[in-house]
Structure 1
Amino acid sequence: METSIRPTILKEAQQLQEQLSVWRRDFHEHPELGFEEERTSAIVADHLESLGLEVTRNIAKTGVVALLRGKEKGPTFALRADMDALPILDEKTVPYHSKHQGLSHACGHDAHTSMLMGAATILSKRRLEKGNIKFIFQPAEEGRGGAKAMIGHGALADPKVDAIGGLHVNTGITTGNITLSSERVGCGAADFFSLKIIGKGGHAAHPHQTVDSVAVTAEVISALQHISSRQVDPTDPIVITIGSIHGGSASNVITPNVEMTGTVRTLNPELRLKVPDMMEKVIKGITYGFGATYDFDFEFKFPSILNDSELTELAASTAAEVLGEGHYERVKPGMGGEDFAFYTELVPAVFFRLGVGNDKMERYPGHHPKFDIDENALPFGAAMLSQLALNYLENQNEGEKK
């Protein structure tokens, strides 16, 4: 591919600005939860078919995969977007406010989907000489195992995917910029647990006749925080968060049981595997000491994203081409989970964060009821995905000639 045509990728993407915004706002108005993205996936598949791509619908129920096949067999680079929304009330006052009460695209997956549709539009106009580009539109990223389901249904096969790229919007980054992880680990592993403290109920006036599950729970919650502060190397990040807690029904009753759920975030894979035993030792010791018992369940849910070093460098050089010098930054990995990680365990991958914020807007974080984006960022995402795929194929094919 001639270097001289590369800057036109961004121009082509910017010419799609209106269409990208139309798609994104339409998806924003009609959010759908994981494995329920029937309307969204139908719109995606119809568009991909209109481009002349080889399209497979209903993968893992609502997933879509499209293939842009080159003239000759060669490496296959995949681009992935997630399509699902969240069970969060949309509190914005905008024309494209969610029409589904209690559901919203509060994490930007509507933008991810629109940008990959834009990338498919741009790339479908190019005749690939050798190799393929696969477009993976995935359901159920938000905790429902969409990536694993897509992999299980062959999204990385036929033809076999040799490498994959993806992005996530971030309002904390200014439009026109991206960030890349400064380490191989791209994000925190996200695991989840449930815990039930089992005491002995009774009258609030006679606590000595009971085992107060609320009091025991308070001690357990406090002690769990000492794992990160006193049992783990302080240079190894770990977050233990209690997200929900339920117990009791009256002010003058000592409830027999308290139930809670939470999440653990780690960057070190070895530490991750030790956490359940560390937590249970604390829980067991405290409950035993107060005469209570417990039920504890820990689920390893999402591993950390593993960024391939060569692909990370390729994304950095692609950003310099598409966005200009000085518009990307290497940053520490965050503790947020992302099920793109499952792809990274199987094939070389790179994942970057796309700036979608500006100083004229309220920059609410993902999962906030008022989350929104600067839609001027959409062409930058579509252009980055497009050029990243083309650069990968070019590098691989040139490598074969040497």
Structure 2
Amino acid sequence: MTLDREIAPLVADMTAWRQHFHQHPELGFEEVETAAFVAERLRGWGIETHVGLGGTGVVGVIRGDGPGPSIGLRADMDALPIEEQGQAAYRSTRPGLMHACGHDGHTAMLLGAAQVLAGRRDFAGTVNLIFQPAEEGLGGARAMIDAGLFERFPCDAVFALHNAPPLALGTAAVHAGPACAGAARFQIEVRGHGGHAATPYLTASPVSAAAALVALIESIPARRIQASGMAVMTVASINGGGAFNVVPDVVTLTGTARAFDTPTMRALEVELRRRCTGIDLAHDVACDVSFEILFPPTVNHAGEAGIAADALGEILGTGAVIRDMPPVTGSEDFAYMLERLPGAYVLLGTRTVEETPMLHSPDYDFEDRLLPVGASFFLKLVDLKLGAGRKAA
């Protein structure tokens, strides 16, 4: 592994920053303390700093020694509404909140790269450091874009990374094309006619209808989507009733749909609505369906994916970079930035033991040994895109 020579002295600081963020998690659009911490560091290093973009977003601007293109380097800052089970000394101090997705690490990585770039500036062009709020389902990327992110801070390309517990520490994955699925949220309110559970023939049970609907929904990808259009549909909650002897009037199902292209996502919605109509007729109920697309697919651009792979290869070794990993069914709102600009989204491996907790787990914790890898990756992108020509030592 070949890290940037100016990152090694900052590892202790990056670790302290990461653990500070972990102790003080904040939900999307509430990252007031995190944003203030980031802005204070950027200003202290003499970086032009802008706050409040898209709510709590922060952008730092570093101009090189000469004119040239511009790139955006993005890190997400928000935590999740999960009660932490881990017992680290720096565990969350806020009940019901924790950094269960590693955004604390992403922010610390970009801060480390920012400190090096602030003192280096031997590149031709501009680096825009994008510290984004509200990645976890609230549309922070879209909020920053709607607030004029790319008009105020033009970028010729944009890059982001994410830690990946399924991949071994010291490996990474990036490829052209879909990297993450688009995501939709659906909700189905099944309205029937309740009554006494001892006389079900006098009711139109929304419970029975909902039970039948679960299997119909989750079979949609296998039966209605071409094999080339990978997709997932999952019912995640069923709510209704409250007594063992009462058939309720209403049951509500919620769930998610995932797909890697827009036509497939639309096909999932059409089939979901069709099957609900069938349940209406079969069970004498009425289904009210809502289907909301949260994120488009995250699609890497070929040229930028190649540059990212080259950067990773110089740091980790070419054999450690996976260029053909299938896209993941998780979603990522960096997709909105990739809809606007060329760019790439990469995964950095963190697994050190077989039972490494997965993302969004209450016992997840970021692997601090990844911090200098991510920071070096950001710096190498600047080298390759803006022509610094600096070689890692």
> Structure 2: 5+ residue runs without aligned partners?
none
After TM superposition, the structure 1 = structure 2 runs for residues 2-401 of structure 1, keeping only pairs within 5 Å, are: 10-181=4-175, 183-330=176-323, 331-359=325-353, 362-394=355-387
Q: Deviations over 1:21-41 (max 9, x none)?
A: 100100000000000000000
Contact 1:246 1:260 in 2 (8 A): yes
Q: Name the aligned partner's letter for residue 132 of structure 2.
A: Q
Give the direction of change, closer, same or farther, for the CA distance of 1:326–1:173 in structure 2 (3 Å limit): same
86-95 vs 269-278, which deviates more?
Answer: 269-278
The one-letter code of the counterpart of 2:241 is G
Checking the alignment, whether the CA contact within 8 Å between 2:304 and 2:343 is kept in structure 1 is yes
The aligned amino acid for 1:175 is: L
The residue type paired with residue 153 of structure 1 is A
TM superposition shift of 1:72: 3.5
Tell me how far 1:390 sits from its aligned partner: 2.3
SS at match of 1:81: strand
Code of the aligned partner of 1:135: L
Q: Distance in 2 between matches of 1:222 and 1:362?
A: 31
Secondary structure, counterpart of 1:186 in structure 2: strand
* Mapped partners of 2:259, 2:74: distance in 1: 24
Aligned length in residues: 388
Separation in 1, partners of 2:117, 2:62: 8
State whether residues 136 and 155 of structure 1, in contact with CA within 8 Å, keep that contact through their aligned partners in structure 2.
no
Mapped to 1, the partners of 2:388 and 2:299 lie a distance apart of: 21
What SS does the corresponding residue of 2:134 show, helix, strand or coil?
Answer: coil
Deviation at 1:69, TM superposition (A): 1.1
Task: Please give the TM-score of this superposition, normalised by the length of structure 1.
Answer: 0.93
Counterpart-to-counterpart distance in 2, 1:216 and 1:254: 12
Q: Which amino acid aligns with 2:249?
A: P
Q: Which deviates further from its counterpart, 382-391 or 318-327?
A: 318-327
The answer as to whether partners of 1:69 and 1:128 remain within 8 angstroms in 2 is no
Aligned residue identity for 2:147: H
8 A Cα contact 2:122 2:388, kept in partner:
no
Letter in 2 for 1:205: A
Return the alpha-carbon distance in structure 1 between the equivalents of residues 201 and 365 of structure 2.
Answer: 53
After superposing the two structures, state which structure 1 stretch, 335-344 or 215-224, moved more. 215-224
Distance 1:318-1:242 versus aligned 2 partners, 3 A rule = same
- Distance, in Å, in 2 between the alignment partners of 1:275 and 1:320 is 38
**Structure 2 Cα separation of the partners of residues 155 and 355 of structure 1:** 30
Give the superposition deviation at 1:374: 2.1
Q: 1:13 to 1:71 in 2, by over 3 A?
A: closer
| TM superposition shift of 1:157 | 2.3
Can you list the C-alpha shifts for 1:310-339, whole angstroms capped at 9, x where unaligned?
A: 111111111121222312112111110000
Alpha-carbon spacing, 1:197–1:395, altered in 2? closer, same or farther (3 Å): farther
Q: CA deviation at 1:165?
A: 0.4
In structure 1, the gaps of 5 or more residues are 1-6, 397-402
Deviation at 1:10, TM superposition (A): 2.3
Does structure 1 retain, via aligned residues, the 8 Å contact 2:315–2:377? yes
CA positional deviation for 1:362: 4.1
Letter paired with 1:306: V
| CA distance, structure 1, for counterparts of residue 285 and residue 214 of structure 2 | 15
Q: How far has the Cα of 1:243 moved from its partner?
A: 1.3
Indicate the residue corresponding to 1:400 in structure 2: none
Aligned CA RMSD, in angstroms, stands at 1.6
The TM-score, its normalising length taken from structure 2, stands at 0.95
Structure 1 stretches (4+) deviating beyond 6 angstroms? none
